[in-house]
Amino acid sequence: MSTALYRRYRPEAFAELIGQAQVTAPLMTALRNDRVNHAYLFSGPRGCGKTTSARILARCLNCAEGPTDTPCGVCDSCVELSRDGSGSLDVVEIDAASHNGVDDARDLRERAIFAPARDRYKIFILDEAHMVTPQGFNALLKIVEEPPAHVKFIFATTEPDKVISTIRSRTHHYPFRLVPPGQMLEYLEQLCSSESVSVEAGVLPLVVRAGGGSVRDSLSLLDQLIAGSEGGQVTYDRAVALLGFTHESLLDSVVTAFALKKPAEVFAAVEGVIQTGQDPRRFVEDLLERLRDLIVVYSVGSDASAVMRGVPQDQIEKLTTQAMQFGMADLTHAAEIVSETLNGMSGATSPKLQLELMCAKVLVPAADQSEVGSLARIERLERRIGMSGGAGETTAASASSAPKSEVSATATAAPVAVSAPIAALSTAAFKDAWQEILGVVNKTNKAAWMLAFGLQVVDFEPNDSVLTLQFTSARDLESFKTSSNAPDILRKSIDQVLGVTVKFKPLIAESAEVKTEALPVVAPAPAVEDVVEVEDVAEAPVEKIAEKKPASKSRNSKMVNEEERYGESLLREMLGAEPVEDKKNR
Ligand SMILES: Nc1ncnc2c1ncn2[C@@H]1O[C@H](COP(=O)(O)OP(=O)(O)O)[C@@H](O)[C@H]1O
Ligand SMILES: [Mg+2]
Ligand SMILES: [Zn+2]
């Protein structure tokens, strides 16, 4: 009968601890520099080294060569405090779970008065300190606050919040953490080789997963697997069965069946899960984990082995094949559904039913929705083709050239040529589709529709996707502008109907002549040398509005100024542009 692994491998020095550098490094430094506090609090999840560290700290403090960050291991104290040692008179370990009352605290207090029997310090380790009652802590308070020079306290607990704050604030607090999988795996591998047991591929990752970051739990599980192994050989089959994970081969067949869309095999596998009495939830978890692995493999390609540590090469190749069979879109889709199922998996619905539903959803990738989606896309394409080619009525040709001839009279032909095949949309196309666009806005958001329904399409500049809209008044423009979502909703609706993301350019109508007069003003603008940039196109109309308004509406200059401001700020906000003057003045 051998002692448990976790006892045989209990670290005896800080350097042997794994995954707790955030604690061991500063502690060792403090010890080296002889800056030792009189009370310590070690907190953290179970089985990650708190009690062990408390003992190591005591060993460091009382080593004949110490205080030191590495106990010598040969002095009397070190020998007594070693893994197999008898324990030292001067290090008192108290399990607070059973000694938690006032009397125990008083007893401890009295014992603390006596000087150490042999070593430097009298050290009290209060393990499971959260079990001490508040009264017990209060009885301890005085001595923890100002202990005699020869006394040190080390509290260890999973629940530091339960240690009353007056005590806590008198300690140096070191938080322990769960050990990350990579480090744990390495440690287990090392341990297996020093125990000379051979472990089949894939077993240790299972142990790491089942251990959940606790070293003690992981070691216990490994211990159990070793105990049940034949001839020092831990086999994968036994390990999955014992740990309750889904068998690789089952996962393989389910995933492949999903990828190749073979319902019969998928449902047979589900049946298998239920028949073998496996926990359905665990199966879903494992499936999700597998999908995640596939996504990772798919994304990183040949670097997968670097990302997925501990996974052998042939396994990675298998995963790659599966990922390829799936494709990224189906993978993410499947992962989403599986994850959703996992979240909803509690409660009354029969697990088998839930599993089968999940499989059905994965197998039929969002059938109706994607149909709607692609239908919409086809419609959009049709519309665009129809508009550029067929619907040549009066405006198709002129509209696409009209704005160009005005604005880009000075521009080279290049931008036109580039944009021609993509953006054949015209002002007329916008006018035709406008009611439909407003309909979409209306469906999306009534308030946005109220703001948008009075708008009129004035012009669309396909080169830069700038859509000039006419507002009936400055107030309308202001409301539209300050609405939290109207511009966005309108833009998205346009995108949905016409498949183009536009930038808005505002015009305030007040009277029709604004518009008609405005256009000629733009054309001659001599400053515009290269119209390809959006800002330049956008700037021109500002000048137009700014110059225009005072002339035509001078009787109400306050109003006009307001409008200017609105126009300008809208421009800045929506187009990210700035007026030409601003730029020039700089
Ligand atoms: N960080 C660690 N590095 C190496 N072994 C560890 C670590 N943490 C825990 N162990 C193993 O787990 C066992 C229990 O650790 P322990 O210190 O009692 O945990 P707890 O944090 O619950 O007090 C130790 O004997 C040791 O074998
Ligand atoms: Mg402990
Ligand atoms: Zn020593």
Query: For ligand 1, is residue 4 a contact (CB within 6 Å)?
Result: no
Choosing from 43, 131, 216, 221 the residue with most ligand 1 atoms within 8 A of its CB, the one to mutate for a pocket test is 216
Confirm or reject CATH 3.30.830.10 for domain 248-384, answering yes or no.
Answer: no
All residues at 6 or more sequence positions from 289 whose CB lies less than 8 Å from its CB, including other chains: none
The alpha carbon of 343 and the centre of ligand 3 are apart by a number of angstroms equal to 53
Could you list the pLDDT tens digit for every one of the 586 residues in the chain? 578 888 899 999 999 999 999 999 999 999 999 999 999 999 999 999 999 999 999 999 999 987 999 999 999 999 999 998 899 999 999 998 888 778 888 888 888 888 888 999 999 999 999 998 888 888 888 888 888 899 999 999 999 998 888 889 999 999 999 999 889 999 999 999 999 999 998 899 999 989 989 999 999 999 999 998 888 899 999 998 888 888 888 899 999 999 888 899 999 988 888 888 888 888 999 999 999 999 999 888 778 878 877 677 888 888 988 998 888 888 888 999 999 999 888 776 788 888 999 999 888 754 445 554 465 556 556 655 654 444 333 333 444 444 444 444 344 333 433 333 444 678 888 888 888 888 888 877 778 888 888 888 988 888 888 899 988 888 888 888 888 788 888 888 888 788 788 888 888 876 544 443 333 333 333 433 343 333 434 444 444 444 444 444 444 444 445 555 555 555 455 544 544 544 444 4
User: 296: Cβ–Cβ under 8 A, 6 or more apart, which residues?
Assistant: 304, 307, 308
Q: Is 42 in the pocket of ligand 1 (CB under 6 A)?
A: no
Cα 155 to ligand 2 centroid, rounded to whole Å:
10
pLDDT of residue 521: 34
- Our answer on whether the CB atom of 10 is closer than 6 Å to any ligand 1 atom is yes
Q: Is the CB of 11 under 6 A from ligand 1?
A: yes
At 169 the three-state DSSP class reads coil
Interval between CA 13 and ligand 3 midpoint (Å): 11
Ligand 1 centroid distance, CA of 8 (Å): 11
Q: Is the pTM above the cut of 0.85? A: no
What are the structure tokens assigned to 163, written together?
A: 């240690």
Is 9 close to ligand 1, i.e. is its CB under 6 Å away?
Answer: yes
Ligand 1: atom nearest CA of 179 is 1
Ligand 1: residue of 215, 219, 221 to mutate (most ligand atoms within 8 A of CB) is 215
Q: How many CB atoms lie within 10 A of CB 418?
A: 12
Please tell me the number of the ligand nearest to residue 75's CA: 3
- In the reported structure, the alpha carbon of residue 226 is separated from the centroid of ligand 2 by a whole-number distance in angstroms of 24
Which residues belong to CATH 3.40.50.300 in the chain?
5-175
Residue 48 Cα to ligand 2 midpoint, Å, equals 8
User: Which protein residue has the closest C-alpha to ligand 1 atom 25?
Assistant: 10
Q: Rounded to whole angstroms, how far apart are CA atoms 457 and 498?
A: 14
153's CB contacts (< 8 A; 6+ apart) are: 38, 39, 40, 123, 124, 126, 144, 147, 171
Between the CA of 83 and the centroid of ligand 3 the distance, in Å, is 14
Give residue 48's pLDDT: 94
Cα(18) to ligand 3 centroid in Å equals 22
| Closest-approaching ligand to the CA atom of 85 | 3
Cβ of 49 less than 6 Å from ligand 1: yes
**Best residue among 3, 5, 9, 10 to mutate for probing ligand 1, ranked by most atoms within 8 Å of CB:** 10
Atom of ligand 1 nearest to the CA of 52: 17
For residue 71, how far is the Cα from the chain centroid? 42
Q: What pLDDT does 584 receive?
A: 46
What pLDDT score was predicted for residue 374?
62
Rounded to 10°, the helix 328-343/313-326 angle is 100
Distance 50 CA to ligand 2 centre (A): 6
Q: Which atom of ligand 1 is nearest to the CA of 55?
A: 17
Kindly report the protein residue whose alpha carbon is nearest to atom 12 of ligand 1. Answer: 216
48 lines ligand 1 (CB under 6 A): yes
Provide the token pair at 72.
């010598």
Quote the ligand 3 centre to 54 CA distance (angstroms): 16
State the distance between the two ends of the chain, measured CA to CA, in whole angstroms.
Answer: 87
| 281 within ligand 1 shell (Cβ under 6 A) | no
Instruction: Report the nearest atom of ligand 1 relative to the CA of 8.
Output: 27
Beta strand extents in 30-166 (DSSP E only): 39-43, 91-95, 122-127, 151-157
Give the model's pLDDT for residue 369: 54
Q: Which residues contact 188 (CB under 8 A, 6 or more apart)?
A: 204, 207, 208, 218, 219, 222
DSSP secondary-structure letter at 16?
A: G
All CATH 1.20.272.10 domain ranges in the chain, comma separated: 248-384
Report how far ligand 1's centroid is from the alpha carbon of 399 (Å). Answer: 77
Structurally, at CATH architecture level, domain 181-243 sits in Orthogonal Bundle (1.10)
CATH fold of 5-175 reads Rossmann fold (3.40.50)
Query: Boundaries of CATH 1.10.8.60 in the chain?
Result: 181-243
